[in-house]
Amino acid sequence: MSYDWSVVWRNADVLWEGTKITVFLTVTTMVVAVPGGILLALMRLSRIKVLKAASVTFVEFFRNLPLILVIYTAYYILPVATGLRFSPITTAIVALSLNVSAYNGETFRAGIASIRKGQSEAGYALGMSRTRAMFEIVLPQAIRRVLPVLASTWVSLFKDTSLVSVISVGDLAFESMRVRSQTFRILEMLTAMAVIYWLLGYPQAKLVDWINKRSRVTE
Amino acid sequence: MSLDFTPIFDSWRFLLGGLGLTLGLSALTIALSVIFGGALGLARCYGPAWLRLPLVFYIDSMRSIPVLVVLIWTYFALPVVTGVTLPPFWAATLALTAHISAYVAEIIRAGISSVRAGQERAAFALGMSRYRAIRDIVLPQALVRMLPAFGSILSITIKDTAIAAVIAVPEYMNRSQTVAGQSFHPIEVFIVAMIVYFLVLFPVTRVVDMVYARYGYLGRS
């Protein structure tokens, strides 16, 4: 069997477009899911029982579902439930955001819980309200503490965006597979896809290891 | 909007068979990944120096490529190289094991390196061999500390088997798609799929938390 690697170069522009979509999905989802996660964590700590229950339910539900299923379900349910038309890419962002928000919610909850009580109590002693102590004292410290976890979530998200190819979003995985089925250069295109993901993902994974190492607490 | 769940009741045997395959594929992948990933992790920590670089490269590469890409490559591209076409189920087992093993190896390494060096030195001071120090002192403490991470590997694996639907492994996700396509009731089918996956995954995470709450203290030194 002879291989023809020129197919990869001839379709470089398509792969480039797909790569841009992959990066766009990762960035956009994180931009939605960080505030989403903070909101879920604050709801969880709220004194209002309904908010607390809603947050716990949301987080546990989406953490215990395969993302690919959330993507499919969003694809079918969103238009019917809202009566609006959603482009595949919007659907993808909604599904990814639901998933990552749930993980971030848990991350921020743990981060806030790790800030010792004396910090917020000192705030109250200075006459701050509960809200102000949370936003000005606890949350800034918690966010700094959970940065390594958020970095890991970022890398997982980057890889998970490949799943949106199942609803025809033109990301790197989708475009590679499309060129594969048009040209029948199976090995070449799929290997190119894997290599591009590797080139983008490997430095990120290494960077996360470095961040984790730096922030590690040794006994 | 009215929901009609009859298509699911009509094909419950078909879906139940898919659930069996989901659980079977998960169990097989986890068992193989623990064996293979355990060997990788131990070789990385205690193996010869020349072996470490390729192992680290393999582990980090698997951690930086999406599992979808590994699945698709194994199923479609590997036959082009080897000339052997694996049935979807075995291609999925191979791809998922290759992927999950890297995470298992990372967990093993993190667990072992979390046991502080003084423990091993104390064992040497008592006259233990290196093998015995690792087996009787380091690994028991490390294993308990790995429990939560292994727990998340269980649920990650079950969730990842759903991705095997894209290479036509007839597991629960794939069969749901079939029923959704044939019945023209995708919403109901996928709502039921969400409930089914949740009912499988939620107890797994809960049991792991409970086990760790019960035995976590054994890992403290």
User: What does the alpha-carbon distance between residue A198 and residue A182 come to, in Å, rounded to a whole number?
Assistant: 24
User: Is A1 a domain residue?
Assistant: no
> Which residue range(s) make up the domain with A47?
6-214
- Percentage of chain B with pLDDT > 90? 74
User: Is B1 a domain residue?
Assistant: no
Q: Which of B104, B112, B141 is nearest to B216 (CA)?
A: B141
pTM across the whole model: 0.91
User: Is A135 a domain residue?
Assistant: yes
Find residues 147-166 of chain A whose CB sits inside 8 Å of chain B: 155, 159-163, 165-166
User: Is A81 a domain residue?
Assistant: yes
User: Is A206 a domain residue?
Assistant: yes
- The C-alpha angle B175, B177, B183, rounded to 5 degrees, equals 100
> Which residue range(s) make up the domain with B119?
6-219
Q: Is B61 on the interface with A (CB under 8 A)?
A: yes
Nearest to B64 among A73, A191, A204 (CB): A204
Residues 6+ apart with CB under 8 A from A129: none
Cβ neighbours of A132 (radius 10 Å): 13
User: Is A115 a domain residue?
Assistant: yes
What does the DSSP 8-state code read for residue B115? S
For residue B34 the two structure tokens come to 């623990």
Q: Is the pLDDT of residue B148 over 70?
A: yes
pLDDT band at B6 (very low <50, low <70, confident <90, very high): confident
- Percentage of chain A with pLDDT > 70? 98
Q: Which of B30, B18, B41 is nearest to B157 (CA)?
A: B30
Q: What is the pLDDT of residues A27-85, one digit of tens each?
A: 999 999 999 999 999 999 999 999 999 999 999 999 999 999 999 999 999 888 888 88
For residue A191 the two structure tokens come to 């290997």
**Residue B22: closest CA among chain A residues belongs to which residue?**
A66
Complex-level ipTM: 0.90
Please say whether the beta carbons of A88 and A79 come within 8 A: no
Cβ neighbours of B48 (radius 10 Å): 7
Q: Do A206 and B165 touch (CB under 8 A)?
A: no
User: What does the alpha-carbon distance between residue B17 and residue A198 come to, in Å, rounded to a whole number?
Assistant: 36
Q: Do A65 and B64 touch (CB under 8 A)?
A: no
Task: Determine the distance in angstroms separating the CA of A167 from the nearest CA of chain B, rounded to an integer.
Answer: 11
User: Is A74 a domain residue?
Assistant: yes
Which of A177, A190, A198, A213 is the best residue to mutate to test the B interface, defined by the most B CB atoms within 10 Å of its own CB? Answer: A190
Tell me phi and psi for residue B116, to 5 degrees. Answer: -70, 155
Q: What is the pLDDT of residues A120-158, one digit of tens each?
A: 999 999 999 999 999 999 999 999 999 999 999 999 999
pLDDT band at B106 (very low <50, low <70, confident <90, very high): very high
Per the prediction, chain A carries an average pLDDT of 92
Q: How far is CA A124 from CA A23, A108, B140, in A?
A: 43, 22, 45
User: Is A173 a domain residue?
Assistant: yes
pLDDT band at B189 (very low <50, low <70, confident <90, very high): very high
Q: What does the pLDDT average to over B74-89?
A: 93
Please say whether the beta carbons of B189 and B179 come within 8 A: yes
Find the CATH number of the domain harbouring A100: 1.10.3720.10
Counting the structural domains of chain B, the total is 1
Please say whether the beta carbons of B186 and B37 come within 8 A: no
Q: Is the pLDDT of residue A1 over 80?
A: no
Q: Is the pLDDT of residue B214 over 90?
A: no
Residue B128: how many CA atoms within 13 Å on its side-chain side?
Answer: 16
User: Is A219 a domain residue?
Assistant: no
Q: What does the pLDDT average to over A174-202?
A: 93
pLDDT of residue B61: 95
Chain B residues close to A181, C-beta within 8 Å? none
For residue A87 the two structure tokens come to 């482009």
Please say whether the beta carbons of A152 and A103 come within 8 A: no
Find the CATH number of the domain harbouring B163: 1.10.3720.10
pLDDT of residue A218: 54
Counting the structural domains of chain A, the total is 1
For residue B103 the two structure tokens come to 């995470």
**Residue A80: closest CA among chain B residues belongs to which residue?**
B1
